[in-house]
A and B are shown apart, each in its own frame.
Chain A
Amino acid sequence: GENVEQHPSTLSVQEGDSAVIKCTYSDSASNYFPWYKQELGKGPQLIIDIRSNVGEKKDQRIAVTLNKTAKHFSLHITETQPEDSAVYFCAASKVTGGSYIPTFGRGTSLIVHP
């Protein structure tokens, strides 16, 4: 089955700095890679996703890159703000007909210091 490794487990940055979270996956058939942000006491919320036919996607201060050859993908947050502090999860999956079971990384706790 799919295995997703996520690094680092904790990331501490100063407000305004950039933050990068990296994930690797094992199944070359995986074709969909969402990223989730989980604030304290809440459920994870989708913040950005990328499909295997795209190498990069941006949405304001966040971007995701995908290297299919190396089987890794990364989340980039620029100009970090204190409200970006949360746990971030990456996931990998194969989107096919029927069931859809993503495999999640173990999460990265991002701390943005004002």
Chain B
Amino acid sequence: SQTIHQWPATLVQPVGSPLSLECTVEGTSNPNLYWYRQAAGRGLQLLFYSVGIGQISSEVPQNLSASRPQDRQFILSSKKLLLSDSGFYLCAWSDLNSPLHFGNGTRLTVT
């Protein structure tokens, strides 16, 4: 069966520091991969999605970037964090035969 791993679970970073969040999926090939942010404990904002290695679509202009160096690995990065980058970051995957499946998220606090 397919599983999705996301880490770290929580992260506290100072303003101006870099960020790297990693997500990996097991048990499937060539999945669609997604990064969402959830602010204020509610709405899901799509940040990036990828349909294949090196193929990244950005939905919202951000202080963030995403990369997909391997088929089942999706990385969310920032060179310099802003206070407004705080939030709950969720990775998800899907394929043609399934809905989105989410990881358990990373709680990022920028101080």
Give the A-B pair count, Cβ closer than 8 A: 51
**Residue on B nearest A45 in the bound complex, by CB:** B102
* Majority secondary structure of chain A interface residues (helix, strand, loop or mixed): loop
Q: How far apart are the CA atoms of A87 and B44 in the complex, in Å?
A: 12
Given B42, B46, B49, B100, which contacts A107 in the complex, CB threshold below 8 Å?
A: B42
Flag if A104 contacts B94 (CB, 8 Å): no
B36 to chain A, nearest CB (A): 9
* Majority secondary structure of chain B interface residues (helix, strand, loop or mixed): strand
B82 to chain A, nearest CB (A): 23
Interfacial chain A residues near B104, Cβ < 8 Å:
41-43
A89 interfacial contact with B, CB 8 Å: yes
Flag if A43 contacts B43 (CB, 8 Å): no
**Residue on B nearest A6 in the bound complex, by CB:** B43
Flag if B99 contacts A102 (CB, 8 Å): yes
Q: Which of B90-105 contact A (CB under 8 A)?
A: 90, 92, 94, 96, 99-105
Chain A residues with a Cβ under 8 A of chain B: 32, 34, 36, 41-46, 49, 87, 89, 91, 95, 97-102, 104, 106-107, 109
In the A-B complex, the 6 residue pairs with the closest CB atoms: A43-B102, A34-B99, A104-B44, A107-B42, A106-B43, A43-B104
- A sample of 18 inter-chain contacts (CB < 8 A) reads A32-B99, A34-B99, A34-B100, A36-B102, A42-B105, A43-B90, A43-B104, A43-B105, A44-B44, A44-B102, A87-B41, A97-B96, A98-B51, A99-B32, A100-B32, A100-B96, A101-B49, A106-B42
